[in-house]
Amino acid sequence: MIVAEQKDITEIVKMIEGCQNILVIGCDTCVTVCLAGGAKEVAILASGLRLALKVQGKEAEVHETSIERQCEKEFVDALKSAVKGHDLLISTGCGIGVQTIAEQFPSLPVIPALNTKLLGLPEKQGVWVERCQACGQCILDKTGGVCPISRCSKSLLNGPCGGSQNGKCEINKDIDCGWHLIYERLKALNRLESLAEIMPVKNWSTSRDGGPRKVIREDMCL
């Protein structure tokens, strides 16, 4: 899932300056699971903004709503009546949600309440970790299900590097060495011999290096 965290409320207060009717829009999917932008967090943010505005002696209305998914136009379209009368929209969705709302309501300014951080999973209550960088060419079959692109700090394809010490990465002792994890996993699977195979240079054009990407399923296109 997409993991995000809320911007500092002081930053959001600055962004809403001069606006009179504000609508905070939540997203009930990924950002709800990572406790950053679901209905609950929208209520806290909207309340916080109302209080901040009152403390500053400003008169403005802050309303709140939430939709199932901000990244799908069909769900965002359902906001049509809710956005009426507002002069600013605040999205607590990920970067995709903010942009979908901006595309669907081009006459209204939309500001992000979150910083989108990573593609990952909840490791434990309150902690989310990165597991994928959407490189566009998955090699998890070769690495025992541990991604060297996201879990190795250098995204090495033939690791580990000399900075691996006792299973930890040289950049931070709290970070596991991705290639150590791969080694342990392949050992458990009795597939250590696959490490002898040198992986060729990766074609990074399927990742961000190739510019904005697009996926097309011709059979599904109307």
Partner 1 sequence: MDFTPAIVAFCCENSAYRAADIAGAQQEGYPSNIRICRLPCSGKLEIIHILKAFEEGADGVFVFACHPDSCKFLLGNVRAGKRIDHTSTLLEKIGIEKERLRFFFLSELEWTAFVEMVRLGNESIRNLGPSPVKKEP
**Interacting residue with partner 1 among 56, 165, 194, 203 (CB under 8 A):** 56
**Interacting residue with partner 1 among 14, 18, 57, 217 (CB under 8 A):** 57
At closest approach, how far in Å is the CB of 44 from partner 1?
Answer: 5
Measure CA 117 to chain center. Answer: 5
Which residue is associated with the tokens 């596991």? 176
User: Between residues 6 and 116, which has the closer beta carbon with respect to partner 1?
Assistant: 6
Q: Rule CB under 8 A: which of 59-98 touch partner 1?
A: 59
Residue 154 touching partner 1 (CB under 8 A): no
Q: Rule CB under 8 A: which of 15-54 touch partner 1?
A: 40, 43-44, 47-48, 50-52, 54
b (16+ CB within 10 A) / e for 56-81: eeeebebebebbebbbeeebbeebee
At closest approach, how far in Å is the CB of 43 from partner 1?
Answer: 5
Closest by alpha carbon to 62, among 36, 32, 92? 92
Count of positions on this chain that bind partner 1 (CB under 8 A): 17
The residues that touch partner 1, with contacts defined as CB under 8 A, are 8-10, 40, 43-44, 47-48, 50-52, 54-59
